[in-house]
Amino acid sequence: MSEHVIKPGWFTINVFNRAVAWLTRRGLSVWGSRVLAVRGRKSGEWRRTPVNLLVVNGERYLVAPRGHVQWTHNMRAAGGGRLLLGKRVEEFSATEVADDAKPEVLRAYLKRWKAEVGVFFGGVGAGSTDEELRAIAHKHPVFRITELRPVS
């Protein structure tokens, strides 16, 4: 059964995402922004998308606010990828976080980026209970990432 994915609006696609990606490609992180590169599960070609890198208790995470999208499917298949910030390229492995373990990460993500992504969380926010966060956890893949090595 596939979930309905909320598409970002025109401003987000054509202005905000492009501006953040442009800055990130030049080495300027905007609120933890990176460009995620992950191999396509069918083509094997590198696919890129802007993401927000979140750090919680010293662990690093990628959260999919828009749900089960292409990069999350590719990440599951590849088991990792690359994070790019300007010319810095970091290879990493990724482990998907179980739904029951997501509330703390989702809460931290929403606390930091709710203004940007809150619409995708159906009214659940940083102040929501663990139960409310668990109820939506299945809609938002979360990956814990571990650096393998800097590539450049």
In this predicted structure, what is the pLDDT of residue 2? 42
Instruction: State residue 1's pLDDT score.
Output: 38
14-57 pLDDT, tens per residue?
Answer: 555 666 556 555 554 555 678 899 999 999 999 998 899 999 99
In a domain, 65, yes or no: yes
In a domain, 53, yes or no: yes
Q: Is residue 2 part of a domain?
A: no
Q: What is the CATH number of the domain that holds 137?
A: 2.30.110.10
**Is residue 5 assigned to a domain?**
no
Full residue range of the structural domain in which residue 66 is found:
10-150
For the chain, the domain total comes to 1
**Is residue 15 in some structural domain?**
yes
Pairing label, strands 59-63, 80-85: unpaired
Nearest of 135, 130, 92 to residue 108 by alpha carbon: 130
